[in-house]
Amino acid sequence: MTEFPLIEVTDLRRTFDVSKPWLERTLARESRQLLKAVDGVSFHIRKGETFALVGESGSGKSTVARMVVGLLEPSGGEVRIAGVPMTGGSHAAERRRLRRRIQMIFQDPFASLDPRWRVGDIIGEPIRAFGVAENRRDVTARAGELLRLVGLDPADAQKFPHEFSGGQRQRIAIARALAADSDFIVCDEPTSALDVSVQAQILNLMRDLQDRLGLTYLFISHNLAVVRHMATTIGVMYLGRLVEVAPARQLFAAPRHPYTRMLLDAVPDLAMSGRPRTPVQGEIPSPISPPSGCTFHPRCGLANDRCRAEAPAPIDGVACHAVAEGRVPELRASA
Amino acid sequence: MSTPATKGIVEPAPAAAAPKARWRWRDSDILASFLSSKVTVLSAIVSVLLIGGSLLAPLVAPTNPFDPATVDLMDSLMPPRWVEGGDPRFLLGTDNQGRDLYSAILYGMRVSLIIGLAGVAIAAVLGIGLGLFAGWVGGRVDAFVMRVADVQLTFPAILIALLIDGVVHGIVGNAQRENTAFAVLILSIGLSFWVQYARTVRGSTMVEKNKDYVQAARLIGIPAPLILLKHVLPNVIGPVLVILTINIALAVITEATLSFLGVGLPPTQPSLGTLIRIGNDFLFSGEWWIVAFPGLTLAAFVLAVNLVGDWLRDALNPKLR
C-alpha cells in the first residue's frame, strides 16, 4: 500500500432537474425544482484500500458511485484517478486508458447481466472492448480463468444468467469487473440483493481478491455490519453530504457525529449484551427542500440555533457544530 | 473427462456440446406447447400450405395466369369442376378473362404475400429503428417521434396508404401505374404500419436502457449504437415478433382492400384483392365462385396466421407458462 491516493474526489456535486415538463410548469406557474443529490463531497482512496460510503436510502451514495465511474456527469467538483481529472477537456487519451482500470459491481445481479447473453460473452465483452485478448480462443480461455478465480466452473461460460442463483450471478459480475485487469472496483451495494447466507461468501471472495490482486474498492452500503467487515475508511453520508469520515476501527469504536452515533445505536446487537437499542429516529428529509443550516438538525438532539442557520464545514473529518463546540457528551464506555 | 489442472483452458468438446443440448431442450419446450394446442397445429398447417403453395405457384399451378398466351376468352366464367357445366381443366372455375381461378389464387396469393411481407419488413425496420432511437435518446427527440406516431395513429392505415398512393401517382403519372403499383403498395403498407413497432420498442427500450447491464456496457465504453443493437434489441424483440406475425396477416388484408378499391394492383397482375374485386362485379349475375374462392383463401390465411401469432405471444411470454 502506497501513500499515493489512487482516487481523489474533490467537492463533488450533482443536481437533478426534477421539475415537471415545461408546459405544465408554466401553466401552474411553478419554478424549476432542483434536487441536490450530492452536495460537495470530498474524499480520497489510497491504493489497495477500501473506502466505504454508508448512509440511508436517498443520501446520494449511489450517485457518488456513478459519478466516480463516469456513468454520470458531475454538476460540479472533480474526480481524479491516478492524478488525472476525469472531467474537462484535456487528458482524453489518458482518460481512455484509465477507464479500463475502473469497473463497477451493481446492486442487483438479476439486472446487471444481459439475460440474452451467455456468461462467457458477458465476461468476454470487456476483454474484447479493451483488447486484452483478440481471438475467440484467447477470450474463452481468459473467461474460463476468471470464472475459476471467482469460484465457478469454466464450463459455466456456456450457460445463460438465468441458470444461476443470485450469489453465483454476483460472482459472474465480479468476474466481469476483473476481466480487463481493472484495479479499482466500485461496488454499489453488491450484497444487499442477496440472501444473508450468501452475502458473507461474496464479501469473503471480494476481500480475498483484494488481497491477491491488490484491488482498490469504493464500497457503497447501508449495512454497517457489512461495512465493518470490508472497509479501511468509512464515510458517512447524509443528504448528499459527508458528515463524518474516519478509519473504520475508529468510527465503530468512537463515533463522533450524532448521525453516526444514531446509526450505530440502531445496529442489532449480536453479542446480546443487553444494551438497549435505540431505533433510528425520524426519516431522511426530502432533498428537494432540505432543512436549513445543518441538514441533520431536525433529527438531532443537540441542535441549537447555529445548527439551524449555518451549514457546518468538516473539521478533522466531522462536519458538526456540536462536535466542534464540544457539546457532544462523552461516549459510554461500553462502545 | 477433464482435469481441473488444465490451466483455465476450456475443453473444446463439452463447450461445443453444451449449447446444442440446451437448444434441443428449449426447442422441445416450445414444441410441446405447440403440439398441445390442436388449433395452433391446424392453423400452422393451413398457413404452411397456403404460403408454400403460393411461393411454389409456378410449379404447383396448372396454368400461368400472367401469360396471356395460355388463356382463352372462350373459357371465361366457367363454374367449378363439380358444378354442372364445369370443365375438368378448371378445378375452381375461371374468371371473366378465362383464367383458371385455382392458378390465379395461387399466383395472387404470392403477390399478396410478397407485398405483405415486404411492407411489414419496411414497417418493422422503420418502427424498430425509430423506437430504439426515441427510447434511447429520450427528451425532445422522443416527444417529437411519438407525437408524429400519435398523429399517424389517428388516421386509419388504409387512408394513409391511399394518400401515399395518390401522391406517388401524382408524381410519376398514371402511365407508369403498372410498373409502380407494386412498389407503391409496399411503401404504403410500410409507412402506415410502423407506429405499432415504434411504440412497443420505445417503451421497452426506456425500461431496458436503465437496467444495469446496459450501464455495465456503457462503463466499458461500448458505443451507443452497438449497445442498442447487441444488448437492447435482443431484449425488446420478443413482443415485436408477435406483432410481426399478426401484422403480416393485416398487411395482406390491407393490400387486398387497396386492390379491391382499385388503387392496388392492376388486373394484369392479379393479387387476391384484385381477384375479389373482379369477382365482385359478377357476384349478382350468378358467378359466385370468382369472389368466393379468393375470399375464402384470404380469410383462411388471415385467420390461420393470427392464431399462430396468438400462440406465439403466449408461448414467448414466460409469465404465462
**Where residue A272 falls among pLDDT bands split at 50, 70, 90?**
low
Residues 259-318, chain A, touching B (beta carbon < 8 A): none
Q: A34-43, B140-149, B277-286: which range is least confident on average? A: B277-286
**Where residue B142 falls among pLDDT bands split at 50, 70, 90?**
very high
Nearest CA in chain A to B23: A159
Cβ of A157 within 8 Å of Cβ of B220? The answer is no
Please give the Cα distance from A190 to A104 (Å, whole number): 10
Identity at A266, one-letter amino acid code:
A
Q: How many percent of chain A have pLDDT more than 90?
A: 36
What was the pLDDT predicted at B28? 57
For helices A166-178 and A136-149, the axis angle rounded to 10 degrees is 130
pLDDT over threshold 60, residue B9:
no
Q: How far, CA to CA in Å, does B133 sit from each of B1, B223, B225, B231? A: 48, 14, 9, 14
Contact list, B10 vs chain A (CB under 8 Å): 140-141, 144, 154-155, 157
Q: Where are the domains of chain A?
A: 5-101+183-254
**Where residue B5 falls among pLDDT bands split at 50, 70, 90?**
very low
- What is the average per-residue pLDDT within B302-315? 86
pLDDT over threshold 80, residue A4:
no
Please give the Cα distance from A135 to A131 (Å, whole number): 10
Cβ of A103 within 8 Å of Cβ of B22? The answer is no
In CATH, the number for domain A5-101+183-254 is 3.40.50.300
Cβ of A102 within 8 Å of Cβ of B219? The answer is yes
Number of other residues whose CB lies within 10 A of the CB of residue B98: 18
CB-defined contacts A:B, below 8 A: 80
Give the DSSP H or E segment for B123: helix B101-137
Chain B contact for A238, CB < 8 A? no
pLDDT over threshold 80, residue A221:
yes
Cβ of B231 within 8 Å of Cβ of A114? The answer is yes
pLDDT over threshold 50, residue B36:
yes
Phi then psi for A112, rounded to 5 degrees?
-90, -5
Q: A230-244, B11-25, B140-154: which range is least confident on average? A: B11-25
Phi then psi for B167, rounded to 5 degrees?
-65, -45
Whole-angstrom distance between the N-terminal and C-terminal Cα of chain A?
30
Contact list, A103 vs chain B (CB under 8 Å): 219-220
Identity at A255, one-letter amino acid code:
P
- What is the average per-residue pLDDT within B141-147? 93
Nearest CA in chain B to A182: B220
Q: What interface predicted TM-score (ipTM) does this complex get?
A: 0.85
Report the mean per-residue pLDDT for chain B.
82
Cβ of B215 within 8 Å of Cβ of A106? The answer is yes
Cβ of B234 within 8 Å of Cβ of A116? The answer is yes
- Rounded to the nearest angstrom, the minimum Cα separation between A162 and chain B is 12
What was the pLDDT predicted at B286? 79
Sequence-distant (6+) residues with CB within 8 A of B5 are none
Q: Which of A107, A129, A154 sits opposite B220 (nearest CB)?
A: A129
Chain B contact for A200, CB < 8 A? no
pLDDT over threshold 90, residue A327:
no
Query: A9-29 pLDDT, tens per residue?
Result: 999 999 988 887 788 888 888
- What is the average per-residue pLDDT within A197-226? 92
Q: Please state the separation of Cα B232 from the chain's center in Å.
A: 24
pLDDT over threshold 50, residue B173:
yes
What was the pLDDT predicted at B225? 93
Sequence-distant (6+) residues with CB within 8 A of A248 are A52, A227, A228, A231, A232, A233, A234
Q: Which range has highest mean pLDDT (A314-323, B172-181, B192-201)?
A: B192-201
Q: A199-203, B220-224, B227-231, B309-313: which range is least confident on average? A: B309-313
pLDDT over threshold 60, residue A3:
no
Query: A120-144 pLDDT, tens per residue?
Result: 999 999 999 888 887 889 999 999 9
All structural domains of chain B, each given as residue ranges with its CATH number in brackets, are: 39-59+95-320 (1.10.3720.10)
Cβ of A129 within 8 Å of Cβ of B235? The answer is no
User: Cell numbers of A139, please?
Assistant: 477470450
Nearest CA in chain A to B222: A129
pLDDT over threshold 70, residue B197:
yes
Report the mean per-residue pLDDT for chain A.
86
Sequence-distant (6+) residues with CB within 8 A of B116 are B189, B248, B249, B251, B252, B254, B255
Q: Decide: B79 and B92 in contact? Cβ < 8 Å.
A: no
Q: Decide: B192 and B208 in contact? Cβ < 8 Å.
A: no
- Rounded to the nearest angstrom, the minimum Cα separation between A130 and chain B is 8
pLDDT over threshold 50, residue A174:
yes
- What is the average per-residue pLDDT within B166-175? 78
Q: Decide: B23 and A118 in contact? Cβ < 8 Å.
A: no
- Rounded to the nearest angstrom, the minimum Cα separation between B231 and chain A is 7
What was the pLDDT predicted at A164? 92
- B interface with A, Cβ–Cβ < 8 A, is 7-11, 14-15, 18-19, 22, 211-213, 215-222, 231, 234-235
**DSSP string computed for B36-67:** T-HHHHHHHHHHHHHHHHHHTHHHH-SS-TT-
The per-type count for chain A, helices as H runs and strands as E runs, is 12, 10
Cβ of A108 within 8 Å of Cβ of B219? The answer is no
DSSP category for residue A101: T
Q: A134-148, A235-249, A271-285: which range is least confident on average? A: A271-285
**Where residue A275 falls among pLDDT bands split at 50, 70, 90?**
low
Cβ of A99 within 8 Å of Cβ of B221? The answer is yes
Cβ of B15 within 8 Å of Cβ of A180? The answer is no
- Rounded to the nearest angstrom, the minimum Cα separation between B7 and chain A is 8
- Rounded to the nearest angstrom, the minimum Cα separation between A114 and chain B is 5
Interior angle at CA B294, CA B60 and CA B95, nearest 5: 85
Contact list, A118 vs chain B (CB under 8 Å): 19
- What is the average per-residue pLDDT within B109-128? 92
B289 or B198, which is more confident: B198
Q: Which of A111, A130, A141 sits opposite B211 (nearest CB)?
A: A111
DSSP category for residue A132: S
Q: How many percent of chain A have pLDDT more than 70?
A: 93
Cβ of A154 within 8 Å of Cβ of B8? The answer is yes
pLDDT over threshold 90, residue B272:
no
- Rounded to the nearest angstrom, the minimum Cα separation between A102 and chain B is 8
B68 or B208, which is more confident: B208
**Where residue A330 falls among pLDDT bands split at 50, 70, 90?**
low
What was the pLDDT predicted at B16? 40
What was the pLDDT predicted at A45? 93
Query: A81-119 pLDDT, tens per residue?
Result: 888 888 766 777 788 788 888 999 999 998 999 988 999
**Where residue A177 falls among pLDDT bands split at 50, 70, 90?**
very high
What was the pLDDT predicted at B320? 52
pLDDT over threshold 80, residue B86:
no
**Where residue B7 falls among pLDDT bands split at 50, 70, 90?**
very low
**DSSP string computed for A137-157:** HHHHHHHHHHHHHTT--GGGG
